[in-house]
């Protein structure tokens, strides 16, 4: 749309255009986790099988620099390294940022 077309729509609309454009720039500049990036690119995300790992090393290779957490049960809880039940029972390892994006929360430890 040409600037002259925007201006002809009225001064209020002309003032809103730069505000909206700056909001889009600010939002795209924020860092995101690999899961959020994949979702934006149209991949299947959340914490499906492609984001759950059998070993802590596999999870760490998927998200270097992020904390590897232990997902437990169906209550969307994860445990941090050092927690009493970390890595025990049925569950999976995952990247903390991806777990947070998928709605998981720290269950203690």
* Helix and strand totals (H; E) in the chain: 5, 4
Strand partners of residue 68: 95
Indicate the number of domains in the chain.
Answer: 2
User: How are beta strands 91-95 and 77-79 bridged, if at all?
Assistant: unpaired
Backbone angles phi, psi at 67, to 5 degrees: -80, 135
Tell whether 24 and 43 lie within a shared domain. no
Domain boundaries, position 8 = 3-30
The pLDDT assigned to 36 comes to 58
Q: Which of 47-51, 77-81, 98-102 has the highest mean pLDDT?
A: 77-81
Residue 79 has pLDDT above 70, yes or no: yes
pLDDT in tens, 97-108: 999 988 899 987
Tell whether 21 and 59 lie within a shared domain. no
pLDDT in tens, 9-48: 565 545 545 554 555 544 455 566 655 555 444 333 457 7
């Amino acid at each position: 749309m040409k600037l002259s077309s925007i201006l002809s729509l009225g001064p209020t609309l002309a003032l809103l255009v730069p505000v909206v454009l700056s909001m889009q720039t600010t939002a795209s500049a924020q860092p995101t986790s690999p899961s959020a990036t994949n979702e934006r690119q149209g991949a299947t995300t959340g914490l499906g099988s492609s984001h759950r790992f059998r070993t802590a090393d596999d999870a760490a290779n998927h998200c270097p620099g992020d904390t590897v957490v232990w997902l437990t049960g169906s209550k969307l809880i994860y445990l941090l390294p050092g927690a009493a039940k970390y890595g025990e029972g049925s569950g999976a390892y995952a990247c903390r940022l991806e777990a947070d994006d998928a709605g998981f929360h720290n269950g203690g430890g």
